[in-house]
Amino acid sequence: MEQKPDGPAHAAAVDPNGQHADGPARIKKAVALLWLMLGLGLISYALQWHYVTTLRGIAFAIYVAFAIFVVVAWLIHKISRGRNWARITFLLLLIAVYVLALLQLRSGIGRFDVAAFIGILQLLTQSWALYLMFSEPGRRWFRKRS
């Protein structure tokens, strides 16, 4: 027979609807996918380092990588805390990135084979994470948290 934990620690971890305060399992999976996507992005950027630094220089490349990493990591953290605005901001940023990527697709074909493969993996992980966050029960959890 399984015992259910009692006390303040358990009460703080579960909301009145019986969901964990950190979100349903789908949100946890979505956040894990977003962290994976961010890690893949770092790998892709490292693979393209020579190309990126020849365009604008090392200082610019480091600044861009750092700024993107910090902003995306912050959004992922806020998403994990149930902030609906972060979920929507992340979606809008991804749409902007996809549009820019499509505009530059022709010039990048064949230049970075491994980086292109990683980009496809990023696209798949982002798409799956967005599906998990914008479909039920994820969508409902974000609405309750706002």
Q: Which 3-state string (H, E, C) describes 15-29?
A: CCCCCECCCCHHHHH
| Partners of 14 in the β-ladder | 20
Q: Is residue 89 part of a domain?
A: yes
Identify the domain containing residue 39 by its residue range.
23-145
Query: What is the pTM assigned to this prediction?
Result: 0.73
Residue-wise pLDDT for 73-105, tens only, equals: 999 999 999 899 999 999 999 898 888 777 766
Burial label for 103, CB within 10 Å (0-12, 13-18, 19+), is: exposed
Does residue 17 fall inside a structural domain?
no
Q: Would you give the distance in Å from CA 43 to the centre of its chain? A: 15
The answer to whether the CB of 43 falls within 8 A of the CB of 51 is: no
**Token duo for residue 141:** 């959890």
Domain count, the chain: 1
Could you tell me if residue 63 is inside a domain?
A: yes
Determine the Cα–Cα distance for residues 25 and 22; give it in Å rounded to an integer: 9
Is residue 31 situated within a structural domain?
yes
Q: Mind listing the pLDDT tens digit for each residue in 37-78?
A: 999 888 888 888 888 788 788 898 889 889 999 999 999 999
